[in-house]
Chains A and B, each alone.
Chain A
Amino acid sequence: MSTHTHDDHHRPVDADAPVGYYEVMETAVRELLIGKQLIGPEEIRRQIEVLDSRTPALGAQVVVKAWLDPKFRARLLTDGRAACEELGISFYDDTRLIVLENTDKVHNLIVCTLCSCYPRPVLGLPPDWYKLKPFRARAVIEPRAVLAEFGTHIPDDIEIRVSDSTAMVRYLVLPLRPEGTEAYTEAQLAALVTRDTMIGVVQATIPRTQRTSL
């Protein structure tokens, strides 16, 4: 293994800049495939709309439903994909979804060491750090140190389980519902369920500003 870093050197977006080599390649590949009628001209645009419709708000909806409805929670843990589809969240790919439940004994973390597999139908696209070398390399060997870099400190008596995603199997963390949220509405609960809680790099917590008022 080399020690080079996988920094994605993103160039600034400039509308007047000449179109780059890889962008030209993307356009050329797409046009050739459309010309050969292997893909339809509308399919790319339609899939962009699908991608834009997927955000962590969908995952939060799933988590809140699981917090409030034990029967749904059981179905979700048995077959993540089917339970999400129940809520109208379609899977546009062939992936299986395994939902990993955090408990007072276990904290889950997801990663894709080989590339960037991620539960996109329920969370949208992953953040860049999820796709870069430091997280992929270290999550499986020193998860406590990785979590500490996100400000998450898990006591030593709580097991940390790291699940490595594949092309066919994706994971979603079901975070622990914070104590003191018994009177919360669904919308208030959903606000606690961020993307990073469902990756497992942080825990769902009540923001400091709300702690004193409730």
Chain B
Amino acid sequence: MTDTSALLNRLANDIGGAQAGPIEQVEHQLEPWEKRCHALADVLDFHKIINTEEKRRGVESLGEVAIGKLTYYERWIAAFANILFQKAILTPTELARQMDLVAARSTSCDVRSDYPSVRSG
């Protein structure tokens, strides 16, 4: 066994049995976007676009640094974006442009409370 074998044998999500500190019994109410993100995950699963295991693996593929720094639903949406790129459902350019539109809109009005539809085609 080399020092690096653990990097292959244990991916970032595989922490069962690892050393860890005390359990802090924390909870929080989901923010509106977090709840939408959860609902999006379920809807993607219903349509067989991204299933639970693909989502889990997508989070793991973010790598240990990102997994450690992003919050739970930040990891999910980042994983969804990557998986949708891999499946050629979205392109990175398309998402970047749409994010610019959303960000520009959000400076003038609050995007969190409504669901504006986007023009198709």
Q: How many residues of A contact B (CB 8 A)?
A: 69
A1 to B9, CA, bound (A): 10
Residue A125 interfacial (CB < 8 Å)? yes
**A128 interface neighbour in B26, B74, B117, Cβ under 8 Å:** B26
* List of A residues within 8 angstroms of B15 by Cβ: 1, 113, 133, 136-137
A158 to B46, CA, bound (A): 41
Judge whether B117 and A135 touch: CB under 8 Å. Answer: no
Q: Find the B residue at minimum CB distance from A52.
A: B35
Residue A93 interfacial (CB < 8 Å)? yes
Distance to closest chain B CB from A125 (angstroms): 7
The A/B interface has a contact count, at CB < 8 Å, of: 207
Judge whether B111 and A27 touch: CB under 8 Å. Answer: yes
Judge whether B115 and A44 touch: CB under 8 Å. Answer: yes
Question: In the complex, which of the residues B16, B17, B53, B59 has the most CB atoms of chain A within 10 Å of its own CB atom?
Answer: B16
**B20 interface neighbour in A13, A20, A47, A134, Cβ under 8 Å:** A134
If A35-B117, A39-B43, A114-B16 touch, does A24 touch B35 (CB 8 Å cutoff)?
no
Distance to closest chain A CB from B4 (angstroms): 12
* List of B residues within 8 angstroms of A1 by Cβ: 6, 10, 15, 18-19
Q: Which of A76-84, A97-105, A138-146 contacts B (4 or more CB under 8 A)?
A: A138-146
Q: Find the A residue at minimum CB distance from B89.
A: A38
Judge whether A32 and B23 touch: CB under 8 Å. Answer: no
- 7 smallest beta-carbon distances between A and B, as pairs: A113-B16, A47-B39, A167-B52, A28-B98, A137-B20, A35-B118, A31-B118
A interface residue numbers (CB < 8 A to B): 1-6, 8-10, 13, 15, 18-20, 22-39, 41, 43-45, 47-48, 50-51, 92-94, 111, 113-117, 125, 127-129, 131-138, 140-141, 146, 149-150, 164, 167-168
